[in-house]
Each structure stands twice: as C-alpha cells, then as structure tokens.
Amino acid sequence: MPETRKPVPPTDLTRRGAAFWRATVAVFALNESESRLLLECCRILDELDELRAAIVADGVTTTGSKGQPVAHPALAAASSHRALLGRLLLSPSRVRSTKAAQVRWAKTKAARRGA
C-alpha cells in the first residue's frame, strides 16, 4: 500500500507552530475543517511566542499614561490567546463526540422500532 504524504506546514508558520503542525498531522488524518482549525492553532502558538518575547524584553509592567506602572498589554493578549487556543483544540473532539452520539442515538432508535 502506498504511503500517504503528510501535509507540510504552511510557510507562514514559525518554529513552534510548524512543529505543532507536524506533530499533529503525524498522528491524525484531518479533514479540511480540522486542517483549518489546526492552522489557526499553530498561528496562535506562534503569536504566543511573539507576545512572550515582548514581555521578556519589556518586563511584565510598563508605564501608563500618567506615569503609573501598569500590566504589559501583551499579558492580556496572551491570556486571551491561550483561552482561544483551548477552545479551538476542543472543537474537533466536540464535533466527533456529537457525531458519535448521533450515530448511537440513531442505532438505538432504529433498534427500538425493530423490537
């Protein structure tokens, strides 16, 4: 049987995003919508690295408009990126779980009609 080529990471991904892409497609055969979700997850990982670099370079606080110390804006952005990543990573399993439940329900319903 011929070996199926794994999709290569899109060229706009950086190190972490590309690594996550390769690790994921090595284990899972993704459909088109799952591939789009994977791409967004990879981009978020890359953006998280950029946000982390900004925080490391600038520190966790910066100077506000009146000279007061305030949290670095990248902290809030990183937090929302992590939350979104968590939701995106759960999306395929929710879809598959829902489809599996629908199949089981249909079988149960059909069995009841036949009994």
**What is the pLDDT, as a whole number, of residue 113?**
73
Q: Which domain holds residue 90?
A: 15-100
Residue 40 lies in a domain: yes
In a domain, 90, yes or no: yes
- Considering the domain boundaries, does residue 35 fall inside one? yes
Question: Given the structure tokens 């999709």, which residue do they identify?
Answer: 7
Answer whether residue 41 is part of any domain: yes
Please, how many CA atoms are within 13 Å of residue 82, restricted to the half-sphere of its CB?
Answer: 9
What's residue 60's pLDDT?
97
pTM: 0.75
3 has a pLDDT exceeding 90? no
**How many domains in the chain?**
1
What residue type is 21 in one-letter code?
W
Alpha-carbon distance of 14 to 22, in angstroms, equals 12
